Amino acid sequence: MSETVLEARNLFKVFGKNPSAAVRRLKAGEGRTAVADVGTAAVIDASFTVNRGEIFVIMGLSGSGKSTIIRMLNGLHDASSGTVTVNGDPITGVPSSRLREIRRDRISMVFQHFALLPHRTVAANVAYPLELKGVAKAERLAKAEEILALVGLEGQGEKLPSELSGGMQQRVGIARALAADSDILLMDEAFSALDPLIRREMQEQLLELQQKLHKTIVFITHDLNEAMFLGDRIAVMRDGRIVQIGTPEDILMDPANDYVEQFVQDVDRARVLTAANVMERPRPVVPHTAGPRTALRQMRDAYMSATYVVGKDRQLVGVVTDRDAVKLVRNGATTLDSIIKPVLQSVREDEVLMNLFVPAVESPLPLAVTDADGRLVGVIPRVTLLAALGPGPGATEEITLPLMPMPQAEIDAVLDDGWTAEPAPSTSSGTRVETEEVR
């Protein structure tokens, strides 16, 4: 079970004259524009939980209420209604001294425009949260050096922030947030001010860092590709409301409404979808205990020139071709062993599509997809890979491009002209592959 670290329940935030009247009317079903006479409804009835160790992304267009939500998570804004809890302790309705403690010890924030202290050195900026905690100078500077190394800024501690590039300044911002050693990081458009290439680098670095540190991160962005790349789960916001919460795949494959569907049209699918999302049932597949006749029939029926061979427990063992199998049948051989060739290209099921193009091009068969234990769990024909990148759900249905198999008549001649039948393949090995005899 995943452990809930942060929970928001029925959060509302209205700026303006009369928040409580606005909340009452919103709860009674009035819309955002209808209540505009009493205030700006920035967040309307938002509920979600964030689990330990996950990156939870809140995504939406500018003005949709993202910053307002994240500021309620650490008490920089009080909620007009609803509750926020951190590890079960309420944040809403507690005195501001308590909120300061929580912000110092349990929740750190990284800002879009870095918010560094310009006249202090990089090391002093990073050490600042430790200064607030009363840690002695030598100790906090030592700690700052250590964290600077972690974010790739070794030896930069003596510089001033203005001497660093934007990307480096934001790494200082991240280092400062890490210095407090809090479990929760809130990042509000932390990479939005950086140019695209640097931004990409920072996204990758954040994931690397996260693999080491396992923080609980709430990351805000208006950029869908960034959301999809970083998020374990994503909450999509529109006009103050959360309209869908799900994994990147959920949101891409099963958008909750037209708004989300429109939004995800531009997403870079190749970086989000994985082999498991688009693979098809492997066919043909034969167990290594099968003989060449069974293999040939399977290939003929699937219009394929080769077949994957699997061992016990569906372990991917190799490939045999129709031409080699025909020779074996002609020689009267009953096992495939002598013609099984290694599989030169296979991919893991959690690999993103972007990384499948080269193996798919180099693989003579639809690309084999295996699980962590090396079992063949699916195949991806090249056409399927291309179709998966097109817009809209359902683009990946049932398209296969057979490679050029041997002429049917040639195979039939070999199978049907009275060669001795081979023994039925053993099923005792635990393989679950169908080897239905055709006739």
Ligand X SMILES: Nc1ncnc2c1ncn2[C@@H]1O[C@H](COP(=O)(O)OP(=O)(O)O)[C@@H](O)[C@H]1O
Which residues sit at the interface with Mg ion, rule CB under 5 A?
67
The backbone torsions φ and ψ at residue 4, rounded to the nearest 5 degrees and listed phi first, read -80, 125
Q: Which residues contact 28 (CB under 8 A, 6 or more apart)?
A: none
Other Cβ atoms within 10 Å of 418 Cβ, number: 6
Place of tokens 């210095």: 179
What is d(CA 296, CA 304) in angstroms, rounded to the nearest whole number? 9
Query: Is 12 within 8 Å of 43 (Cβ atoms)?
Result: yes
Per rule CB under 6 A, is residue 80 in the interface with ligand X? no
How many positions of this chain bind ligand X (CB under 6 A)?
11
Residue 60 binding partner per list ligand X, Mg ion, none, with a CB distance cut-off of 5 to 8 Å that depends on partner kind? ligand X
Residue 63 binding partner per list Mg ion, ligand X, none, with a CB distance cut-off of 5 to 8 Å that depends on partner kind? ligand X
Instruction: Single out the segment in contact with ligand X by CB under 6 A; choices: 62-70, 100-108, 191-199, 370-378.
Output: 62-70
Residue 53 binding partner per list ligand X, Mg ion, none, with a CB distance cut-off of 5 to 8 Å that depends on partner kind? none
Per rule CB under 6 A, is residue 306 in the interface with ligand X? no
- Name which of 242 and 385 has its Cβ closer to Mg ion: 242
- Name which of 46 and 194 has its Cβ closer to ligand X: 46
- Name which of 51 and 112 has its Cβ closer to ligand X: 112
Per rule CB under 6 A, is residue 15 in the interface with ligand X? yes
Per rule CB under 6 A, is residue 40 in the interface with ligand X? yes
Of the candidates 85, 109, 105, the one whose C-alpha atom is nearest the C-alpha of residue 97 is 105
Q: What does the buried/exposed string (b/e) look like for 260-281 if buried means 16 or more CB atoms within 10 Å of the residue's CB?
A: bbebbeebebeebbbbbbbbbe
- Binding ligand X (rule: CB under 6 A), the pick from 11, 42, 144, 328 is 42
- Binding ligand X (rule: CB under 6 A), the pick from 11, 35, 50, 68 is 68
Minimum separation from the CB atom of position 187 to ligand X (A) = 13
Minimum separation from the CB atom of position 371 to ligand X (A) = 39
Cis peptide before 284 (omega within 30 of 0): yes
Angle at 319 between CA 342 and CA 283, to 5 degrees: 140
Binding site for ligand X (CB under 6 A): 15, 40, 42, 60, 62-68
